[in-house]
Amino acid sequence: MIINERNSRNEYVCNVGRQMMIAARTAPKGKGVDIIEVAMVTGDDIKKLSDKMIAMVDEHGMMFFLRDADNILSAECIVLIGTHDQAQGLNCGHCGFAHCADRSEGVPCAINSVDVGIALGSACATAADMRVDTRVMFSAGLAAQRLDWLSGCRQVYAIPVSASSKNPFFDRKPKQ
């Protein structure tokens, strides 16, 4: 049997995406409390995410969403990583408030932010080990958050994954 890489690339990349999800899950969490959610977007849902990103431009005017919306269409899959908002009760002050109970609505617990960052790093390190191309995208993550694809999560980030002759997520030109 002869297996041509071009015919098996999608399956390979999606398997890497699954390994990235496991890496995010097993990444260390503050106080050992696991409040992250991880999912993978494939197929037609990538287009839905792209469409949502385009629709959001009118709302906030961030034109780079157009570029990123086009960009994610080159992905074989997109790994989403987000966190639920849960104060860890350390009263550490890293969020800008002396006590967790004093946090204003919408201010994330700094420990939650660190947890999602470590999970992103673990997922991207796994991707690098497997020699696939990625880029962490705030834009696609925010669109996924608005679609509520990680139910109830805040601070959602997206990692599009590709395997092509050149990383499609870098050296990008702005869209008008």
Q: Has residue 168 been placed in a domain?
A: no
Q: Has residue 170 been placed in a domain?
A: no
Q: Is the pLDDT of residue 38 over 90?
A: yes
Q: Has residue 12 been placed in a domain?
A: yes
Q: Has residue 76 been placed in a domain?
A: yes
Instruction: Express each pLDDT in 78-102 by its tens digit.
Output: 999 999 998 888 999 999 999 999 9
> Residue 155 belongs to what domain range?
5-162
Q: Has residue 122 been placed in a domain?
A: yes
Please give the share of the chain, as a percent, with pLDDT higher than 90: 80
What is the average pLDDT across 126-155? 97
Tokens coding 93:
């002050």
Q: Has residue 141 been placed in a domain?
A: yes
- Give 124-136 as a DSSP string: HHHHHHTT-EE--
Distance between CA atoms of 73 and 77, rounded to whole angstroms? 9
Q: Give me the pLDDT at residue 66, please.
A: 95
Q: pTM higher than 0.85, yes or no? A: yes
**Cα torsion 63, 64, 69, 71: sign:** positive
Q: Has residue 13 been placed in a domain?
A: yes
User: Closest Cα partner for 151 from 23, 37, 35, 56?
Assistant: 37
C-alpha torsion 15→16→22→27, nearest 10: 180
C-alpha torsion 68→71→73→76, nearest 10: -110
Q: Has residue 169 been placed in a domain?
A: no
Number of compact structural domains in the chain: 1
pLDDT range class, residue 24, cuts 50, 70, 90:
very high
Distance between CA atoms of 89 and 96, rounded to whole angstroms? 14
For residues 158 and 78, the answer to whether their CB atoms sit within 8 Å is yes
Q: What is the CATH number of the domain that holds 58?
A: 3.40.109.10
